[in-house]
Structure 1
Amino acid sequence: MLENGCRVYLVRHGETLWNKDRRFQGHTDIALSERGVEQARALSRRLQEFKIAAVYASDLQRALQTAEILAVPHELPVQACPELRELHFGHWEGLTFNQMQEGYPAELKAWWKSPLDTAVPGSRETMRSMAERVNSFVSQLVNRHLGSSILVVCHGGPVRALVAAALQMDLNQHWRLRQDNAALNILEYYPPDKAILTLFNDRSHLPQELA
């Protein structure tokens, strides 16, 4: 199976209270809510029979907590990786969309028009540099684990960046890629340049009250 490739089980972290309030999180280190923990447990039950060689996660606690729950049945350590962090949202972190519209109307309009290269006020990176960071790091993981499957837990932005790269899609259209909390995606990589999306934003493991 996958003798010349690597299967990546790609997961967005469970819900946080800022997700519930629709606040931009970025690099702000917010923990899972109780609901987020239960979402991770439900996904853990789904993945418990899968053969997974290694578990990697963003070093932000919402992703780490999710990964630690998913790793338990496999008795694997979680390797914390800052390369898998969400986009740094600068002055927008902690704000709702309405607050951003009120405080940064011109900047928000420019960002939505061309997010790939438009810097968010106060941010240390653009969406393009985030995508390059994430895709470069996952390529390293793929080459390290050819012939096996790995679990990668991160955030909505990095998930979209990886999926867009696999589909050769313009990341300026990232908003077309819905990514819910505790969603499972599957990408199969065949180096040097072939990637296949086999599952996207699947939350069939969540009962209705957690979906």
Structure 2
Amino acid sequence: MKQVYRTTIKRILDAFFGVLLLICLSPLMLVLAIWIKLDSKGPVLFKQERVGRNGKRFTIYKFRSMSDDAPHQMATSEFDTALSYITRSGRLMRKTSLDELPQLVNVVKGEMSFIGPRPLIPKEEKVLRLRHANGAESLAPGITGLAQVRGRDEVTDTQKADYDGEYASNVTLRGDFLILVETVLTVLARRGVHDGKVNNK
């Protein structure tokens, strides 16, 4: 049953709830898009190449939360002065994770899942190698995942990969539901979130 959920049911649920949430949240997403456009120069959406299932590259979508002159091909955790790039609208979106809403499109397209290892940029080679070794690379990356509810920006790269591997070895409906609930609680409490460079090696 676990294998059926992992290979079939999980994807069906992702597609169904992805479309449903896009429809239900479209008014909110429209308001956010207008606010972003009025708040600062630049596009509404931030697009970046990420590494997906089995190393396949794809374009991730987010609401732009930083000024258009911010470095694009690096993780925010590597910025020395990330706060100086964050826009007014971006502060609220990052606190509430509303900037992640456009990733529902990635979920519907099958490039991402609601739950899974977070999609990495290609230069995050250390974690990518560790994921390849522990089997996490075989999963579609998620909007949230086990590492995000176990510390998010506060855990090391090795710990993140370990959590990803732990999740990959036991993908279940119950486990995904618990991660989803923990994610909501984590976002509300804003635990483990840091805007800027952290020592995560």
What's the TM-score, normalizing by structure 1?
A: 0.31
Higher relative contact order, chain-length normalized (CA < 8 Å, sep 6+): 1
Q: TM-score, normalised by structure 2?
A: 0.32
